[in-house]
Structure 1
Amino acid sequence: MRVGIAGAGFTARTHIEAYREMDVEIAAISSPSGPGETIEEFDLDAEAYADVAAMCEREEVDFLDVCTPTHTHLPIVRTAVDSGLDVFLEKPIAESLAGARELAALVDDADATCMVGHVVRFMPAYRRARALAIGSPGVARARRLSPFPNWGSNGWFADPEKSGGIFVDLAIHDLDYLRWCWGPVDRVFARTSGEAESAHGFATLRFENGAAGYVEASWAQPSSRPLTSELELAGNDGLVEFSSADDEPYVRWTEDGSTVERPLAKDGYRRELEHFVSRLESGSEPAVDPEEAVESLRLALAARRSAERGEPVSPTEVGR
Structure 2
Amino acid sequence: MKVAIIGQGFGRSAHLPAWQADPRAEVLGVFSREDTPAVLERADVDIVSLAVPPAAQPHLIGAAAGKHIFCEKPLAADLASATRLKPKGQLGIDLFFPEIPAWQEARQSLSGLGPLRHAHLSWRLESRAFRFGATGWKTNPAEGGGTLVNFASHTFHYLEWLFGPIAALTAQASGGHPDTIQAGADLLLQFHTGMTATLSVAADAYQGSGHRLEVYGQNGALTLANNSGDFARGFELKVALKDQPWQDHTPPDLPPDGDGRIQLVSRLVARLLDAIESGKPMSPGLAEALRVQTLLDAAKRALEQRIWIDL
What is the letter of the counterpart of residue 289 of structure 1? Answer: G
- TM-score for the superposition, normalised by structure 1: 0.78
Q: Identify the structure with the greater helix proportion.
A: 1
What is the letter of the counterpart of residue 66 of structure 1? Answer: L
Corresponding residue for residue 188 of structure 2: 204
Separation of aligned partners in 1, 2:140 and 2:265:
26
Corresponding residue for residue 264 of structure 1: 254
Separation of aligned partners in 1, 2:209 and 2:29:
30
Separation of aligned partners in 1, 2:189 and 2:217:
16
Residue pair 1:5, 1:66 contacting (<8 A) in 2 also: yes
Separation of aligned partners in 2, 1:215 and 1:155:
25
Corresponding residue for residue 136 of structure 2: 155
Kindly indicate whether structure 1 or structure 2 has the higher relative contact order, using CA contacts under 8 Å at least 6 residues apart: 2
Cα gap change, 1:22/1:227 in structure 2, threshold over 3 Å: closer, same or farther?
farther
Is 1:287 aligned with 2:277? no
Alignment RMSD: 2.6
What is the letter of the counterpart of residue 278 of structure 1? Answer: D
Separation of aligned partners in 1, 2:254 and 2:147:
29
Provide, for residues 264-309 of structure 1, a one-character-per-residue CA deviation record: whole Å limited to 9, x for no partner.
Answer: 2374222222222222222221112212221222112212222222
User: Which residues of 2 match residues 1-320 of structure 1 at below 5 A?
Assistant: 1-23=1-23, 24-32=25-33, 50-58=34-42, 60-80=44-64, 82=65, 84-103=66-85, 106-107=86-87, 110=88, 112-132=89-109, 133=111, 134-150=113-129, 155-194=136-175, 195=177, 199-222=183-206, 228-245=210-227, 248=234, 263-265=253-255, 267-315=263-311
- TM-score for the superposition, normalised by structure 2: 0.80
Provide, for residues 39-82 of structure 1, a one-character-per-residue CA deviation record: whole Å limited to 9, x for no partner.
Answer: xxxxxxxxxxx3212112236232111110110010000111x1
Deviation at 1:310, TM superposition (A): 2.0
Q: Give the count of matched residue pairs.
A: 277
Partner of 2:203: helix, strand, or coil? strand
Cα gap change, 1:61/1:226 in structure 2, threshold over 3 Å: closer, same or farther?
farther
Provide, for residues 99-127 of structure 1, a one-character-per-residue CA deviation record: whole Å limited to 9, x for no partner.
Answer: 11011xx21xx2x1112221122222222
Separation of aligned partners in 2, 1:161 and 1:137:
37
Residue pair 1:168, 1:297 contacting (<8 A) in 2 also: no
Q: Percent identity?
A: 25
Separation of aligned partners in 1, 2:214 and 2:273:
31
Separation of aligned partners in 2, 1:137 and 1:102:
36
Separation of aligned partners in 2, 1:158 and 1:248:
26
Deviation at 1:161, TM superposition (A): 1.7
Separation of aligned partners in 2, 1:147 and 1:25:
36
Separation of aligned partners in 1, 2:276 and 2:116:
34
Cα gap change, 1:93/1:198 in structure 2, threshold over 3 Å: closer, same or farther?
closer
Cα gap change, 1:226/1:15 in structure 2, threshold over 3 Å: closer, same or farther?
farther
What is the letter of the counterpart of residue 206 of structure 1? Answer: Q
Deviation at 1:144, TM superposition (A): 2.0
Q: Which runs of 4+ in 1 moved over 6 A?
A: none
Moved more, 166-175 or 50-59: 50-59
Any gaps of 5 or more consecutive residues in structure 2?
Answer: 236-251
